[in-house]
Amino acid sequence: MIKTLITNVLLLIVNCVSYGQPHIKAVFRINEFNAASAVFFKNNPNIKRIVVDHKKGRAINLAVFNTDTKDGEYNPSESYVLNFDGDVHILNKKYPEFPFSKASELLAKNLLNMKEITEKDTSYLLRTTFRPDSLTHFFEFYSTNDVPEYHFVRVLNRPFLKQKISAITDTLEKRLQSWKPIVISDSIIVMSGTVETNGTLTNLELLEGKASSYSDKIMQELIAITVWWPVRLGQKAVPWAVKISLRVNQDSTLKLETL
């Protein structure tokens, strides 16, 4: 069992007029020691700091820092988007022992009876910073209808598919049947490529998974059948990197995600 010691709680109740800006109801910080976190850094001595951003109780982004930069500096050595299946797969494979904290348990232990943050119309953003000797949790509470769309959570410029995901997976599932006896070598593969200014997919390569006849065919099909909205900077379309993950479910259906 992991024993957690709360060393400091700093609370600020904010009463202010919004004037078009999100109305922060309360802000607080919790510092703690977590034994599992200390073990993780001991096993990964090159890592100086890890930052995990949360929205509505869910971890959204994770950034790994190999240099001891200041908190305000955001130039991670590695970054993962935690609602993208491909990044979660790579993260779990590279750092299977990473000790994610449970924000809901922290709230229950420390601020269970505080009216300003337990009202039904309240939601929060959270940034947790992991260091070898401590964890720092910084909460911002808002009225539910007033939570910023982005704050800690980074805005990602990225290409989007013109077709429905379901139409693409339906096509791949049908073609997969005709490829037999090709063997599916991995339940999930992660790929990276470039969406060009004309909406075509190029330079697709395998990031995670075993190179095989299966992965080769999947990449060929994705290049052939997908059409994209390119990223635009101002009025100009520009080439942009994209990640694609494809998972084979237990019932042989496919789950496709892009980032």
The domains of the chain, with CATH numbers, are 4-146 (no CATH), 160-258 (3.30.2420)
Does 15 score more than 60 pLDDT?
Answer: no
Query: What whole-number percentage of the chain has pLDDT above 70?
Result: 76
Does 3 score more than 50 pLDDT?
Answer: no
Mean pLDDT of 140-165: 74
- Higher-confidence position of 151 and 131: 131
234-258 pLDDT, tens digit per residue, is 889 999 999 999 999 999 899 999 9
Q: What is this structure's pTM?
A: 0.83
- Higher-confidence position of 230 and 38: 230
Q: How far apart are CA 63 and CA 92, in angstroms?
A: 14
Does 151 score more than 80 pLDDT?
Answer: no
Mean pLDDT of 15-20: 37
- pLDDT given at position 102: 75
CA end-to-end distance (rounded Å), the chain: 36
pLDDT band at 55 (very low <50, low <70, confident <90, very high): confident
Given a contact cutoff of 8 angstroms between Cβ atoms, the answer to whether 228 and 161 are in contact is yes
- pLDDT given at position 182: 85
- Higher-confidence position of 200 and 17: 200
- pLDDT given at position 123: 75
Does 37 score more than 60 pLDDT?
Answer: yes
Q: How far apart are CA 46 and CA 65, in angstroms?
A: 9
C-alpha closest to that of 242 among 200, 212, 209: 200
Mean pLDDT of 90-102: 90
HSE-CB at 155 with a 13 A cutoff on CA atoms is 5
